[in-house]
Chain A
Amino acid sequence: MAGLTVAISNPSGLHARPAATFVKAAAGFAADIRITNLSRDPGRTASAKSILGVLQLGVGQGDELRIEAEGADAERALEELGALVASGLGEQPGS
């Protein structure tokens, strides 16, 4: 299983629209993708393809998120999801 850790820069964290953007992107990959909010509860992991699971991680601005993927397109999934988070998930950082 491959993984990477990213920091969430969105002012509202992974809530509402940013969460929906993230989940829709994750759903586009065949790989099994799991995420963990290291800053809140490292013991709780959710499917990146579940909006409910992502919301329940309570990811706020500044939180560190661990993304892990397993499957055919796992590497590409990590690369693209990492870039999506870094780009602010469609929100203006700091706005």
Chain B
Amino acid sequence: MTRLRGIAAARGVAVAPPHVLGTATPGGAERRDLDAAVDVAVTQLDGLRTRLVAGGREDEAGIFEAQALLARDEELLAGARERIAAGGPTDEAIVAAGDAAAAVLEALDDPLLAARAADVRDVAARIARAVRGEAVAQLSRRSIVVAHDLAPSVTAELEPSLLAGIALEAGSGTSHAAILARALEIPAVLAIPGLLAAAAGAAELVVDGTTGEVIVDPDAADRAAAIGAGEAAAAGRARDRALRSRPLATADGVRVMLAANIGRPEEAQRAVDAGAEGIGLLRTEFMFGDRATAPDAAAQAAAYASVLRTFGSRPVVVRLLDVGGDKPLPYVPATPEANPFLGVRAIRLAARHPELLEVQLRGILAAAETAGVAEPHVMAPMVADLADLRMVRRLLDEALASGASTVRPRLGIMVEVPSAVLIADQLAAEADFLSIGTNDLTQYVLAADRTNPELADRQDPAHPAVLRAIGMVVAGAARSGVPVAVCGEMAGDPLGALLLVGLGITELSMDPAAFGAVKRALGAVSMAEAQELARHALDQTDAAAVRTMGADLLTRA
């Protein structure tokens, strides 16, 4: 028995034999000619489409329908045949033909067509794999897929009903595999050092996507515990599903808006399916990481527009780039800082490199035009005072003027810096909405670095000092009649949600996985009880006392 640890990427617990996916093809597989490979690719794509349609995922099915047309496309294949006639290997010929065709689409400078260029390359790569005779990953029984990493086209091939869990040596919480696992509600643990070596020849694995633990060949006790935990998690998901269509409200019917936090456009559909009334926080860092140059406005517009279209008339709050010296971008010169969390980050970075923010704002406005959204919501992180807000407002006005844009953006701020709490009334007079980021607010109010494990016990937003800060923001914003949302992790914590609603917060934005638990907790408590809880919580002396006090109310849920 071996215990390993990685990043908990999708909740739940699975116990099943491992299916190790290698990168190499076992045994000298037979090569196919172009026509036979196209037939294989089309059959695979039709199978994928049928499976997605049967699962009610029409939008994703449309992608593979278009890809099946591309795989048979006479122009694409003519390009490959020319190269084969010139003596090139078949697999390289189709990839080169795909690259050439994709380049034409990209040169049209249209975000929608740029996305189709990726489809062309994906299809060409699929045909090339079929030429080389590479087998697709086929599960023959319910298994935990073990691999170094999973490419999107490989994960799409896996039969979901046989996919018990995912364990990867690479990957991260925002990688494609993590998103897929959450969408399919399959437990997943990623970034596990030593996984492939440990899992080689193993008979069974436990993957605990809630704690991030993986056990290779578990003993009887661990096995029984994991099966019990898996059943409990499945029962919880079933209860959450039953609550999907119910709005977030107190027992006496006071409605609170329920929104989702997402970090990638692919997560938008899952948020809708879970019952989100909007996106309270679209993190945009996914656009900026893992690349050598800054993304242009068209690429950003395409990504944001896909989320806006998914949500239609429901609000989507796009947060401007929030990075700093702790995770420098290769194309933004940064000076090492002693205290990156108190340094040149978020809009402070943008003030030094205004072109970053200018391009992003143009991308957001273009996305709104494309998606037909009249009032896109833009949110500035790390705003400390009015000068910060006015700087972003000026850049936004300039972007509007330069693009002759007809949309009317609403500009809000993240309240996470203590100074913004103290002058919330001033900020609310000029901002269109406020959203409290409780994670950063907690670390700043309590002066406790949230990346320092030694201080983990000081990161509870239920601390009376943080609760008082939230109360001040609500009171300050009320003078201008500006709504206050919360988009930190506190919103997705059942007791945290009760406290926030009791303090006067009218919108909670969280990971959709928390929707069910928060609906149950709030649905069991009247508005008067939530307010009384919040009032007493402000007078406690630490977070533990607040949690003890609220424990009774939570047992009703």
Interface residues of A (CB under 8 A from B): 11-13, 15-17, 19-20, 23-24, 46-47, 49-53, 55-56, 58, 60, 95
Bound Cα distance A13, B113 (Å): 10
Bound Cα distance A53, B120 (Å): 12
**Smallest CB separation, A23 vs chain B (Å):** 6
- Of the candidate stretches B64-72, B146-154, B226-234, B521-529, the one touching chain A is B64-72
State whether A52 touches B70 (Cβ < 8 A).
yes
State whether B76 touches A52 (Cβ < 8 A).
yes
State whether B70 touches A51 (Cβ < 8 A).
yes
Chain B residues positioned under 8 Å from A15 (CB to CB): 110, 112-113, 116
Closest to B66 in A: A20
State whether B113 touches A52 (Cβ < 8 A).
no
- The one of A11, A13, A47, A95 that contacts B75, using a Cβ cutoff of 8 Å: A47
Q: B133 in the interface, Cβ–Cβ < 8 Å?
A: no
State whether A17 touches B110 (Cβ < 8 A).
no
State whether B112 touches A50 (Cβ < 8 A).
no
State whether B112 touches A20 (Cβ < 8 A).
no
**Which size class do B's interface residues fall under?**
20 to 34
Q: B62 in the interface, Cβ–Cβ < 8 Å?
A: yes
Number of A-B contacts (CB under 8 A): 53
State whether A20 touches B113 (Cβ < 8 A).
no
State whether B74 touches A47 (Cβ < 8 A).
yes
Closest to B65 in A: A20
B65-88: which residues lie under 8 A (CB-CB) from chain A? Answer: 65-66, 69-70, 73-76
B93-143: which residues lie under 8 A (CB-CB) from chain A? Answer: 101, 104-105, 108, 110, 112-113, 116, 120
Q: B372 in the interface, Cβ–Cβ < 8 Å?
A: yes
State whether B73 touches A16 (Cβ < 8 A).
no
Residue with the greatest number of chain B CB neighbours at <10 A, chosen from A23, A49, A50: A50
**Smallest CB separation, B63 vs chain A (Å):** 9
State whether A95 touches B372 (Cβ < 8 A).
yes
Q: 12 A-B pairs, CB-CB below 8 angstroms?
A: A12-B112, A16-B112, A17-B66, A20-B62, A20-B66, A20-B69, A50-B76, A51-B66, A53-B75, A55-B105, A56-B105, A58-B110
Bound Cα distance A19, B69 (Å): 10
- Also in contact, A23 and B110, with CB within 8 A (given A11-B372, A52-B120, A56-B105): no
**Smallest CB separation, B75 vs chain A (Å):** 4
Bound Cα distance A36, B554 (Å): 65
Residue with the greatest number of chain B CB neighbours at <10 A, chosen from A13, A20, A47: A20
State whether A23 touches B113 (Cβ < 8 A).
no
Chain B residues positioned under 8 Å from A49 (CB to CB): 74
Chain A residues positioned under 8 Å from B105 (CB to CB): 55-56
- Also in contact, A51 and B113, with CB within 8 A (given A11-B372, A17-B62, A56-B105): no
List the 6 closest A-B pairs by CB distance, nearest first: A58-B108, A51-B69, A50-B75, A15-B112, A52-B73, A52-B75
6 additional A-B pairs beyond A16-B116, A52-B75, beta carbons within 8 Å, are: A19-B66, A52-B70, A52-B120, A56-B104, A56-B105, A95-B372
Bound Cα distance A17, B62 (Å): 7
Chain A residues positioned under 8 Å from B110 (CB to CB): 15, 58, 60
Bound Cα distance A11, B369 (Å): 11
Chain B residues positioned under 8 Å from A20 (CB to CB): 62, 65-66, 69
Closest to A46 in B: B75
- The one of B70, B75, B76, B113 that contacts A58, using a Cβ cutoff of 8 Å: B113
State whether B66 touches A52 (Cβ < 8 A).
no
Closest to B312 in A: A95
**Smallest CB separation, B65 vs chain A (Å):** 6
Chain A residues positioned under 8 Å from B120 (CB to CB): 52
Chain A residues positioned under 8 Å from B113 (CB to CB): 15, 55, 58
**Smallest CB separation, A91 vs chain B (Å):** 12
**Smallest CB separation, A32 vs chain B (Å):** 12
